[in-house]
């Protein structure tokens, strides 16, 4: 019966195509933009260690759970979960996990596309020689970009349109073809950047910053951030891994591919740190700069370095590549849903889904460009809160939907799904299976729950 269900979807050509696509989904702004700056904010080496631990004992097991759901269900997330629940005589209610994933991915893309739009704008700044200007004009690039909605809207629209075109072309001709070219190019650019940084920047300070753990600088908040980021960087609880798992060739090992994907994602994050910090340190700048690290600090540093304009441009091309392979993953579940349920063809499905993203992205564009209409004031438990549309979507996805989704996925696969269904997937990895199940049943739900309660302020640290 399993895998025998007639699916309207195709499959990846081979394991390699899947690993590239899923690594492309995982590697993104999170690795190159977010990881270096949160590492900087939380004290370097000790944070890196905790992050690695979170990836290994929570991130990888949850990823394997999601891919298993997709592979057994062979449909878009909600229906894949529903099928597995039916086969396990579990409640239909579990399918809400799939819906949550789909909605999370959709919401994430609405702001992800705008940040990718920033990166795209910087490629053009680089090409037009802005990075070799004086300090004043470089510092004002970012504020100018966010001064009025139109330019930012233009850049993010290009990202969304390109995403729609690639996904509209189908699994093999669109997504697969894109990742086969983009991922190796991205990796090559990253290595070039790291070599450039090592030769021209302060590499030894970077090594001691990143790899000599100083546990006194690690806070409980740092641990929470590390686990939250492990989820974000592996693209968990966002419908992506379930959807990509649904396209997995029958004989592909979920364990091995998940290990590869997590390893590649981590490697990229570490190399990104090695590519950015030597340049930041060389100019005597501080690592805890926050989100502006790569859009403000980095261009300023490049301007002082040999061939900085050229390498600065390469850096942002790499960033756009990395973001783009995540964007196509983020939209895919909604497109697959429209194809399978509303019997749309792929092109209209991609266009409709893309249009919805575009509309939502306007909220983030407005938030970045300071429009009053996107600032909301409300009271939670008597506390006055003021947040922009972007901040609300970011909070909703990162602090609520992803952790709740993560706990539910772990509970569903760990407790509700019949072990016999899962064991078939792990026939060749029988040694791993008990360890995986143990982590999924006990460690993952408890750890994610603790982090969730801390994030929303129920546990005070
Ligand atoms: N993993 C991506 C990154 O690190 C972000 C992402 C989250 C992509 C969820 C898809 C789904 O940038």
What secondary structure does DSSP assign to 116-168, as a single string? Answer: HHHHHHHHHHHHTTGGGS-HHHHHHHHHHHTTSHHHHHHHHHHHHHHHHHHHH
Name residue 386's beta-bridge partners.
Answer: 377
* DSSP one-letter code for 28: S
- With a 6 Å cutoff on the Cβ, whether 59 touches ligand 1 is no
pLDDT of residue 184: 97
Compute the distance between CA of residue 80 and CA of residue 71 in angstroms, rounded to an integer.
8
For residue 376, the cross-strand partners are 387
Round to whole Å and give the CA distance between 4 and 34. 41
Q: Spell out a b/e string for 271-308, using b for 16 or more CB atoms within 10 Å of the CB, else e.
A: bbbbbbbbbbbbbebebebeeebbbbbbbbbbbebeeb
The answer on pLDDT for 4 being more than 50 is: no
CA of 411 to the centre of ligand 1 (A): 22
* Per-residue CA distances from 193 to 187, 258, 285, 352 (Å): 10, 27, 19, 38
Note the pLDDT of residue 424.
87
- Position 444 pLDDT exceeds 50: yes
Determine whether the shortest distance from the Cβ of 30 to ligand 1 is under 6 A.
Answer: yes
- Position 34 scores a pLDDT of 87
Higher pLDDT, 135 or 59: 59
Question: 3 pLDDT exceeds 50?
Answer: no
Residue 306 is predicted with a pLDDT of 92
For residue 59, how far is its CA from the centre of ligand 1 (angstroms)? 13
Check pLDDT > 50 for residue 383: yes
Q: Report DSSP state, residue 388.
A: E
Distance 99 CA to ligand 1 centre (A): 18
Confidence band for 5, pLDDT divided at 50, 70 and 90: very low
For residue 6, the model assigns a pLDDT of 55
Averaged pLDDT for residues 38-62:
92
pLDDT at 437: 95
d(CA 108, CA 381) in angstroms, rounded, equals 26
Q: Rounded mean pLDDT of 70-97? A: 96
Residue 347 pLDDT = 97
Ligand 1 center from residue 398 Cα (angstroms): 11
CA distance 441 to 436: 9
Q: Looking at 28-42, 151-165, 255-269, 410-424, which range is the least confident one?
A: 28-42
Distance of alpha carbon 54 from alpha carbon 450, whole angstroms: 13
Does ligand 1 lie within 6 Å of residue 190's CB atom? Answer: no
**What's the pLDDT tens digit per position in 324-380?**
999 999 999 999 999 998 889 999 999 999 999 999 999 999 999 988 777 888 777
CB-CB contact of 453 with 459 (8 Å): yes
CA atoms within 13 A on the CB side of 320: 21
CA angle in degrees (0–180, nearest 5) for 415-420-423: 95
Q: Which residue has the higher pLDDT, 258 or 136?
A: 258
Higher pLDDT, 153 or 387: 153
Q: What is the pTM of this model?
A: 0.93
CB burial of residue 28 (10 Å; 0-12, 13-18, 19+): buried
pLDDT in tens, 191-236: 999 999 999 999 999 999 888 888 888 888 888 889 989 999 999 9
**Centroid of ligand 1 to alpha carbon of 35 (angstroms):** 12
Which residue puts its alpha carbon closest to atom 11 of ligand 1? 235
The DSSP 8-state label assigned to residue 376 in this structure reads: E
Mean pLDDT for 92-114 is: 97
Average predicted confidence (pLDDT) for the chain: 92
- The CB of 238 under 6 Å from ligand 1? The reply is yes
Least confident of 64-68, 226-230, 442-446: 226-230
Rounded Cα gap, residues 55 and 21, in angstroms: 19
CA distances from 240 to 21, 295, 402 (A): 11, 27, 12
């Amino acid at each position: 019966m399993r895998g025998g269900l007639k699916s309207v979807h195709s499959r990846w050509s081979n394991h390699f195509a899947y690993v590239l696509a899923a690594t492309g989904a995982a590697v993104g702004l999170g690795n190159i933009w977010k990881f270096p700056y949160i590492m900087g904010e939380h004290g370097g080496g000790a944070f890196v260690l905790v992050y690695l631990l979170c990836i290994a004992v929570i991130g990888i097991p949850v990823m394997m759970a999601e891919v298993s759901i997709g592979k057994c269900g062979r449909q878009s997330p909600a229906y894949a979960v529903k099928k597995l629940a039916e086969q396990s005589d579990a409640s239909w209610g579990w399918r809400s996990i799939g819906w949550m994933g789909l909605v999370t991915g959709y919401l994430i893309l609405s702001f992800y596309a705008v940040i990718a739009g920033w990166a795209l704008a910087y490629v053009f700044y680089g090409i037009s020689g802005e990075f070799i200007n004086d300090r004043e004009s470089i510092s004002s690039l970012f504020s100018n970009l966010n001064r009025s909605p139109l330019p930012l809207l233009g850049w993010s629209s290009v990202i969304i349109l390109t995403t729609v075109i690639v996904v509209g072309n189908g699994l093999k001709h669109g997504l697969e073809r894109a990742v086969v070219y983009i991922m190796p190019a991205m990796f090559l650019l990253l290595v070039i950047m790291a070599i450039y940084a090592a030769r021209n920047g302060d590499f030894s300070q970077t090594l001691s910053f990143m790899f000599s753990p100083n546990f006194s600088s690690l806070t409980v908040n740092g641990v929470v951030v590390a686990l939250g980021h492990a989820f974000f960087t592996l693209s968990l609880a966002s419908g992506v891994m379930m959807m990509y798992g649904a396209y997995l060739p029958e004989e592909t090992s979920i364990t091995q591919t998940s290990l590869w994907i997590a390893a590649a994602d981590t490697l990229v994050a570490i190399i990104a740190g090695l590519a950015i910090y030597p340049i930041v340190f060389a100019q005597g700048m501080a690592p805890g700069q926050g989100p502006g690290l790569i859009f403000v600090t980095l261009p300023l540093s490049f301007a002082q370095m040999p061939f900085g304009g050229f390498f600065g441009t390469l850096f942002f091309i790499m960033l756009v590549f990395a973001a783009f392979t995540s964007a196509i993953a983020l939209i895919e579940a909604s497109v697959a849903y429209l194809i399978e349920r509303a019997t749309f063809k792929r092109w209209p499905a991609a266009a409709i889904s893309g249009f919805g993203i575009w509309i939502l992205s306007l909220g983030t564009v407005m938030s970045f460009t300071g429009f009053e209409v996107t600032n909301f004031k409300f009271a939670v438990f008597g506390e006055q809160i003021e947040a922009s549309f972007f901040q609300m979507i970011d909070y909703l996805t990162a602090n609520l939907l992803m952790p709740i989704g993560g706990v539910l996925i772990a509970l569903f696969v760990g407790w509700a799904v019949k072990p016999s269904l899962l064991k078939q997937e792990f026939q060749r990895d029988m040694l791993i299976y008990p360890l995986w199940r143990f982590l999924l049943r006990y460690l993952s739900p408890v750890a994610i729950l603790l982090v969730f309660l801390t994030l929303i302020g129920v546990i005070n640290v």
